Amino acid sequence: MFALRGEMRRNYRRGKERRGWSSHKRSHQPHRHWRAGHNNRAQSLEQEEPQTPVNAGPSSNEDPSSSSSTQNSVAPELPGFYYDPEKNRYFRLLPGHNNHNPLTKDSIQHKAMECKRLRLLEEEEKQHQKTTRAGLNSSVLLQKRQLGSLSPTSYCRLVHELKVNCMQRRKIEIHSPDSSVAGTNNFKIIVADVACERIFTVNDVEHGGCKYGIINLSGLGKESLTVEMYDNLYFTNRKVNSVCWASLTHPDSHVLLCLMGIAETPGCASLLPASLFSSTNPGDRPGMLCSFKISTAWSCAWCLNPQADNCFSTGLTRRVLVTNVVTGHRQTFGTSSDVLAQQFATQTPVLYNGCRSGEIFSIDVRQRNRKGQSWKAIRLFHGSAVTSIHLMEAEHYLMAADMAGKIKLWDLRAAKCVKQYKGHHNEYALLPLHVNEEEGLLIAVGQDCYTRIWSLQDTHLLRTIPSPHPSSKDAIPSVVFSSRLGGSRGVPGLLMAVKQDLYHFSYN
């Protein structure tokens, strides 16, 4: 009996020591304990519904002002979840794009962009109902300028800001001899001639391809906003990459188009007589001046210099081709990258080119082909693909934009960047620049569908105009700005073509 009791006591002590040792080991394993709790929490989140909220923001007792400043630290990014700052909750993201899963990254970004666009439109309406910002009116600015309290640069910039912010959007009524033409296809590109009396339009066709037209701006007045659009049956099933006016028989007599190649059809440059789009004079039938056995033709430009009369250039895949329309003579210049943008100088027969590699170089078309690339007179470099170039009137400066959203003003004599205009948005699109030196303005439409206007002098962003339509990749506005829309007696302002609508922003 006593031996049995002693054995029981010894077993009890051994069990107690084992339990104490195991509890001691668990107390020294905090990381393993945390992982287990973390895994359980992750599993519980995965079992929740797609839109089950998870509170991860600051508590209600905290100051709202401090919570906004520490939002990034309090609400870190979690893989597979989206944090809504308005609801102060996490929402689960599911892969795929379908009606059963409306909460995706694309839908979240589109919703945020649409809320921003609607907010800016509302702010613009309120601003026009009131006035411009306090202290910004013509009489006050003139008085300060006369008193010497404003420098000439500041005065010019404030006047531009005043005029730009007073621009109001009005829809233009488009008339056409064919009632089935106006308002049936979405605008893709609009390009004005030198006198700004006409704009050439490229419209997307519902069954695929592009259709062309010309809008006469002579009816665009201060009181009546009506224009005439002339169309024809000619269209192409290929994408239009670049458009410019050409002066073959007389100023702006033709339109030069640069088309992409598809399948077995090569890319080409097509020259169309503007008389094709006139209701009174049908004119000649269009002729294909050149066709290249390549996959893509990216850009085109027409030369107005008498030393290279009747010549146009096309930017191709790793080469530049300069063609004389009358003689058919061609010059080929090899490049190391695709040429996405081109413009001829007017004082000299020099062609400026912007490449996918970010390089900008010039070619004197009077020289014969040389081996290598020794014919490059000027070489500038961007950090991303150059999408648009604009040679300033004095031809000492060049404006260039790239796919990183950077817009730079280059001094061609010193070969260096002297100014940079911030705020432009681009990732991969070929978006043009619009420079009006008479008014001292730079206009560019971003891939986010916002039209931005800068002061050329001090690079100040004067205004950001939201699109009248919801933002999307196929609804990027195309714009034209001129001091004389409709000719010498025309009205100043900005034309914006988006979707099937044409708008006018008066600039007084």
Q: How confident is the model at residue 366 (pLDDT cuts 50, 70, 90)?
A: confident
Distance between CA atoms of residues 20 and 22, nearest Å: 6
Residues 6+ apart with CB under 8 A from 235: 205, 209, 210, 211, 212
Both tokens assigned to 500: 């099937």
pLDDT of residue 502: 94
Average pLDDT on 90-111 reads: 64
Poorest-pLDDT segment among 60-74, 105-119, 378-392: 60-74
Q: State pTM to two decimals.
A: 0.75
- Smallest CA-to-CA distance from 52 within 96, 98, 95, 84 is with 84
Going by the DSSP 8-state scheme, the letter that residue 278 receives in this structure is: -
Q: Over the chain, what is the mean pLDDT? A: 77
Mean pLDDT calculated for residue range 288-306: 76
Q: How confident is the model at residue 199 (pLDDT cuts 50, 70, 90)?
A: very high
Is the predicted pLDDT of residue 367 greater than 80, yes or no? no
Q: Once rounded to an integer, what is the mean pLDDT over residues 464-481?
A: 91
- The phi, psi pair for 345, rounded to 5°, reads -80, 155
The answer to whether 53 touches 87, Cβ cutoff 8 Å, is yes
Q: What is the pLDDT of residue 345?
A: 96
pLDDT at 405 over 90: yes
- 116-173 per-position pLDDT tens digit: 888 887 777 766 544 455 556 667 777 776 677 777 777 777 777 888 888 888 999 9
Supply the pLDDT for residue 24.
43
Quick one: pLDDT at residue 184?
A: 64
Average pLDDT over residues 76-85: 76
Beta bridge partners, 81, equal: 92
Give the per-residue pLDDT at 501.
93
Q: Is the dihedral of CA 106, 108, 109, 114 positive or negative?
A: positive
Give the separation between CA 506 and CA 164, rounded to whole angstroms.
9
Written as one string, the DSSP assignment of 337-361 is: S-EEEEEE-SSSSEEEEEETTSEEE
Tell me which of 465 and 35 has the higher pLDDT. 465
**pLDDT higher than threshold 70 for residue 303:** yes
Q: Given a cut of 60, is residue 54 above it in pLDDT?
A: no
Average pLDDT score over residue span 263-279: 79
CB 434 within 8 A of CB 421: no
Q: Return the minimum-mean-pLDDT range out of 282-291, 417-426, 477-486.
A: 282-291
| Average pLDDT rounded to a whole number, residues 51-67 | 40
Looking at residue 38, its pLDDT comes to 41
Answer for the pair 501, 169: CB distance below 8 angstroms, yes or no: no
| Residue 448 vs residues 119, 240, 371, 380, 482: alpha-carbon distances, Å | 15, 21, 42, 27, 23
Both tokens assigned to 254: 């033709």
Instruction: Please state which of the ranges 80-84, 433-437, 443-447 shows the lowest mean pLDDT.
Output: 80-84
Q: How many helices (H) and strands (E) does the chain have?
A: 7, 32
**pLDDT average, residue stretch 343-359:** 95
